[in-house]
A and B are shown apart, each in its own frame.
Chain A
Amino acid sequence: MAHDNKDKDSLKGNSFLLPVGVVSKVDVARLIRDISALDDFLVSSAVREPGTNVKLPKTSRLMDEVFEINKLNPTNKPDRSKLIELLKTVKNDAPQIHISFNLEPSPQFIQRLIKWLRDEMHPLMLLKLGLQPGIGAGAIVRTTNKYFDFSLRERFSASKEILLQKIRLVSIDTASKPKEVPENSIEETRQVNIAETTGV
């Protein structure tokens, strides 16, 4: 329990850092799973007999990066344990923001966005991405209790009065102009009148 409080304090103190590749809670969970697998392997390898056939655990670039930026040694058991606990705390307590786009964002886009969020709002900010094709462009942001619509659809709705003014202007111009009757229709009308008069 005291350990958990210490981890939360470390989160509040912003001493723990997340790489920009860790975006969502899914990524944090994957990191926890990978580090736990590494920890289990290293613990079991210490008591395993030499020469036995073992399967090495998979390590990822994100795991290396999180050890590196937090200046922790993956072969050191206390560092691994500490990192697992910190990641669990991040997974449970780190702030999360939900952003929806009309298209699937690229990894570079997500990294630039998460970097800005962590620089400007919170260093452990996690992101949950959504997809809303109807918004046209922009994004819809949802925090814990608030909803921010930065989409093109919302901008169009806000600017609807301008569009209506333009439509009215076009309608007035169209109504004020005399209708131009095509020459062919006049000729057809004339032929019909002649046919009606002559009874043909």
Chain B
Amino acid sequence: MGTLELILILGSISASTTAFIWMAMMHSSKPIGKNNTEDLLNERANVDVESIFNDEFREELRNRGRLHFEKIIGENAMFLQQDLRLTTSQLNEYMKTEITNKLREEFAKYEESITDAKQLAVDSITKTQDAIEEQRRMMSQQIQQEIAKERQRIITRFEDNMADIINHYVLEAIGDQIDLNDQLEFILSDLEQNKEAMIRDIKSGA
């Protein structure tokens, strides 16, 4: 930016100098007519030439250059500001687009991960439910079997007890009523059936 301003200032100075030089050359190249007029003009030209490059004129040129320079700087600043705003706007738009895309991608990935995790959790829950159901079914069967066994055991015990009660009742009821003499034949029959074993045991001794 400094170089450009310097070039512009130098360009304007050189243009002004070239214009004055050209005007002076034009006055000097006119044919010599009326002497007085020419002299006057020359004198006036000399005065003007001298006045052109006096301090006031230089100050005026400096002011003009300053104004022009400020104008150019202002215009450039404006352009630069516009460019900067445009760039900023584009950059914002770009950033917005990029961030949106990036966020969209990340959200998509996140959503996919969540979906996968959800599916995984659902599968796990389904497997767990299946396992629990299987376990419940096995336990139900086992409990049913245990209940059946327990019921059978209770029934068997009840029947045994009932048989013992009946046997005991019958023995108590008829035990004293049977005469031993009537039982002798049966006892001898039983002894006869086991006679060999008894004789073997007696002969073998203690």
Residues on A lying within 8 angstroms of B by beta carbon are 95, 97, 101-103, 105-106, 108-109, 112-113, 116-117, 120-122, 133-139, 141, 143-146, 148, 150, 152-153, 156-157, 160, 163-164, 167-168
Contact = CB atoms under 8 A, between A and B. Distances in A.
B188 interface: yes
Interface of B: 159-160, 162-163, 166-167, 170-171, 174-176, 178, 180-181, 183-184, 186-188, 190-192, 194-195, 197-199, 201-202, 204-206
A34 to B, nearest CB: 28
Contact of A103 (B159, B166, B180, B188): B180
B167 A141 contact: no
B187 A139 contact: yes
Contact of A95 (B181, B197, B202): B202
B195 to A, nearest CB: 6
A155 to B, nearest CB: 10
Given A103-B180, A136-B175, A139-B190, A121 B202 contact: yes
20 contacts: A112-B184, A121-B199, A134-B171, A134-B175, A137-B178, A138-B190, A139-B183, A144-B206, A146-B201, A148-B198, A150-B191, A152-B175, A153-B171, A156-B163, A156-B167, A156-B171, A157-B167, A164-B159, A167-B162, A167-B163
Contacts of B160: 160
Contacts of B176: 102-103
A148 B190 contact: yes
Given A121-B198, A134-B171, A141-B198, A106 B187 contact: no
Given A144-B206, A164-B159, A105 B180 contact: yes
A138 B198 contact: no
